Amino acid sequence: MVELSVVFGILGICVALFLFLSPIPTIRRIVRARNSLEYSQLPYLAQVVESSFWSLWAIAQGDRLEMLINNLIGITFMTIYVIIFTCFVSNVKRNSTYLQILVSVVLVTIGIIVLLFVENSTASLFLSIAAVVLNCIKYASPLSVAKLVIQTKSVTYMPLPLTIACMLCSILWGMYGILLNDIWIIVPNACGVVCSTMQIILWCCYCKRSSKTSSTMEKEEKIIVVCHSTPLVI
């Protein structure tokens, strides 16, 4: 009989896959324009680093197969997005882009070194803390849009379907953590549920309000594309 935790893990992978695919429209715009436009690759790199730490942690734990599969899928998709972004990055952004990639590689390398050469329990603790901190920061990052939503009275850049998907993903992985009695999985997903709930409440408050003129929104779009160009998943 399949354990209930495995069922929630598989469901979590399915929802996370939808979120991992959500940046495709952004990538298509970049490819069509043959330019990175005003988009940033930083969210994709952040997801690569975060998913790498979760994967290394899952390996250290030894019994978190669903977590490992989920994050390996995430690493694969985000790496593809980063490669495409790098191919079309403008000359102005090229140096900063390479620097961001270098920093990401260094961070992941540190994680690998810790896993290979540090005592297992210590390595697991280090990797779990790093992964949880990164996960909580990323779950909270869309709330930076809240000020703009309130100012413009528009939810144009706070897409409800993506927010609901993030909440569902957090609930599924949170249940997975509860069933396994794993605090490292429960904490970031509890944070994800809270942040998603706040976004949904904000969306409900302003979804019927009038927005500012399109010219104003275009000026502010540069802020938003950084926050919403990639999903936030464990």
Collapsing DSSP states into helix, strand and coil, what is residue 37?
A: coil
Domain assignment of residue 161, yes or no: yes
Domain assignment of residue 234, yes or no: no
User: Which residue from 186, 162, 187, 160 is spatially nearest to 15, judged by alpha carbons?
Assistant: 162
The 10s digit of each residue's pLDDT in 44-96 is 999 999 999 999 999 999 999 999 999 999 999 999 999 999 999 988 889 99
> What confidence score (pLDDT) does residue 223 get?
39
What the block records as the tokens of 129 is: 């803390």
Non-local (6+) Cβ contacts of 157 within 8 A are 145, 148, 149, 220, 221, 224, 227, 228
> What confidence score (pLDDT) does residue 83 get?
96
> What confidence score (pLDDT) does residue 15 get?
95
What the block records as the tokens of 189 is: 């997903």
Nearest-angstrom CA–CA distance, 170 and 12: 8
Non-local (6+) Cβ contacts of 191 within 8 A are 135, 136, 139, 140, 170
> What confidence score (pLDDT) does residue 150 get?
81
User: H or E segment at 193?
Assistant: helix 183-206
Domain assignment of residue 103, yes or no: yes
Give pTM, 2 decimals: 0.85
Domain assignment of residue 75, yes or no: yes
> What confidence score (pLDDT) does residue 209 get?
66
Domain assignment of residue 153, yes or no: yes
What the block records as the tokens of 53 is: 């730490």
Domain assignment of residue 205, yes or no: yes
Q: Which domain holds residue 23?
A: 4-226
Q: How far from 227 is each of 12, 27, 44, CA to CA, in Å?
A: 22, 15, 11
Supply φ then ψ for residue 75, to 5 degrees.
-60, -45
Domain assignment of residue 233, yes or no: no
Non-local (6+) Cβ contacts of 65 within 8 A are 9, 58
Domain assignment of residue 18, yes or no: yes
3-state SS record for 94-145: HHHHHHHHHHHHHHHHHHHHHHHHCCHHHHHHHHHHHHHHHHHHHHHHHHHH
> What confidence score (pLDDT) does residue 221 get?
43
Question: What's the structural domain count of the chain?
Answer: 1
Tell me which residues of the chain have a pLDDT lower than 50: 1, 210-233
Nearest-angstrom CA–CA distance, 56 and 142: 26
Residue 218 CB: number of other CB atoms within 10 A? 10
> What confidence score (pLDDT) does residue 225 get?
39
